[in-house]
Amino acid sequence: MDLRFSPELETFRSDVQAFLSEALDDELRRGAAYNGGMFQDYETNIRWHRILAAKGWVAPAWPERFGGPGWSVEQRYIFSAECAAAGAPALAPMGLGMCGPVLMGHGTEEQQATFLPRILSGEDYWCQGYSEPGSGSDLAALALDARRDGDHYVLNGSKIWTTHAHHANWMFALVRTDRSGKPQTGITFLLIPMDTPGLRVDPIIFVSGEHEVNAVFFDDVRVPVTHRVGAENDGWTVAKYLLEFERGGGNAGPGLEAAAQRLHRLAADHGVALPHGTLASLEVTIEAVKTLEFRILSALGQGQNPGPESSMLKALAGQARQQLSELTITLLGPPALGGGAAPAPRGATPEVAAASATAAARYFNYRALSIAGGTDEVQRDIIAKRVLGL
């Protein structure tokens, strides 16, 4: 078996490298390198989004008829590998990776024509309204009340942990439209403008000081019925479809490989040898992530959706990031946890300086990787049932 890329794909790689070296200015590189949060900060993310949109490369996974570049699975992999190697900012997944695929799979033609171009251009910025104070892992218990009133739904209740709700102009949300049967059969999927009267966003500040997530309150918020995706009370079907993309639609492997290489350079700069056993376990996890991603990409390339393997990928990729952040702290020592930026060694390269400055924030924030998007325990339940058939 020949696992090398064809000459045509290597030419494609050179084109991507040439584009990245020109398009990624110092501000964007710095924004990515100094990002200590779970998500890329909004300003850096949206600037990079618009540059990629202008080039037609912002949604590598989208079909051409919806504005994707028409790339093969291999081209998509090469693109994300080169972006990771070049230190490009990460793009927010809520529009491109979640709401977009849902609209393609379950939206009306009118919804697709209205919303997909605005996700591509960056005109609309989305947040995800799934979790509530009483329903996270047990998502079907969600209670945000949506009462039908003519051609509107009237919403009362709240959502929590809503990433970037303070930047978003739209939310896709699951709401409760029926309480008579099984919890799953009374849920509806709605698209909600964030400037609707009665909707309020309150910040939740992380222990590291970052503001990424929020609580969102609904007080008689009126949403037109035309903003419903799928049938009333069939939101659970839409929700499950989206969760597979949330957990497995991206390309984590190249980013992890690039981060592992940075860790090795950081260790060399500090003259520190990292524990071999831990490094070996990290390498194995990253290899497993890459293999799973190839499997999922191949399924996507054949028009299928990611499947339950996305739960394996979500858990493993999160664990790898956590391991990387722990190793960085081990390497930098206690000063890294001393409240803020660790001192960079004298004459440190910009890369080492950025790693030192973000080590503590990443260490604390990446704890959330085994919670956000579904906890590791819940992913293991899914793997046990749907992959192992237990």
Ligand X SMILES: Cc1cc2nc3c(=O)[nH]c(=O)nc-3n(C[C@H](O)[C@H](O)[C@H](O)COP(=O)(O)OP(=O)(O)OC[C@H]3O[C@@H](n4cnc5c(N)ncnc54)[C@H](O)[C@@H]3O)c2cc1C
Site residues (vs ligand X, CB under 6 A): 38, 127-131, 136-137, 161-163, 213, 368, 371-375, 377-378, 381
| Amino acid (one-letter) located at 112 | Q
Q: CB 136 → ligand X: shortest distance, Å?
A: 2
Q: By C-alpha distance, which of 321, 334, 340 is closest to 282?
A: 321
Strands (E), 225-305: 228-229
* Least distance (Å) between residue 20 CB and ligand X: 28
Q: 17 or 375: whose CB is closer to ligand X?
A: 375
* 110 classed as catalytic: no
The CA R_g of the chain, rounded to the nearest whole Å, is 21
Tokens of 280: 């070996």
DSSP letter, residue 9: H
The sign of the dihedral angle between the CA atoms of 85, 279, 372, 380 is positive
| Orientation angle between helical segments 73-86 and 7-23, nearest 10 degrees | 40
- Closest distance between ligand X and the C-beta of residue 129, in Å? 6
Instruction: Rank residues 62 and 130 by Cβ distance to ligand X and give the closer one.
Output: 130
In three-state secondary structure terms, 4 is: coil
Check: CB of residue 122 under 8 Å from CB of residue 167: no
CB-wise, 58 or 174, nearer to ligand X? 174
Q: How far apart are CA 2 and CA 117, in angstroms?
A: 39
Measured from the CB atom, is 237 or 375 closer to ligand X? 375
Among the listed residues 133, 49, 31, the one whose alpha carbon sits nearest the alpha carbon of residue 97:
49
Strand partners, 174: 189
Minimum distance between the CB of residue 160 and ligand X, rounded to whole angstroms? Answer: 7
In this structure, the number of other CB atoms found within 10 A of the CB of residue 303 comes to 7
Distance of closest approach, residue 348 Cβ to ligand X, in angstroms: 30
- 60: which 2 tokens? 């590598």
- Output the smallest distance, CB 64 to ligand X, in A: 29
Whichever of 106 and 164 has its CB closer to ligand X, that residue is: 164
Q: Which is nearer to ligand X, 145 or 381 (CB)?
A: 381
The residue with its CB nearest to ligand X is 136
DSSP track, 27-92:
HHHHHHHT--SSS--HHHHHHHHHHHHHHT-S-TTS-GGGT-----HHHHHHHHHHHHHHTPPPPP
What element of type H or E holds 162?
none
Residue 175: its H or E element: strand 170-176
Q: d(Cα 262, Cα 46) in Å, to the nearest integer?
A: 25
Nearer to ligand X, 216 or 357 (CB): 216
Going from the C-alpha of 72 to that of each of 9, 62, 77, 84, 97, the distances in angstroms are: 10, 11, 9, 19, 17
d(CA 228, CA 234): 10
**CA end-to-end span of the chain:** 34
Least Å distance, CB 367 to ligand X, is 8
Q: Which is nearer to ligand X, 161 or 363 (CB)?
A: 161
**Minimum distance from residue 38 beta carbon to ligand X (Å):** 5
Q: Which of 246, 257, 293, 309 is catalytic?
A: 246
Annotated active-site positions, please? 246
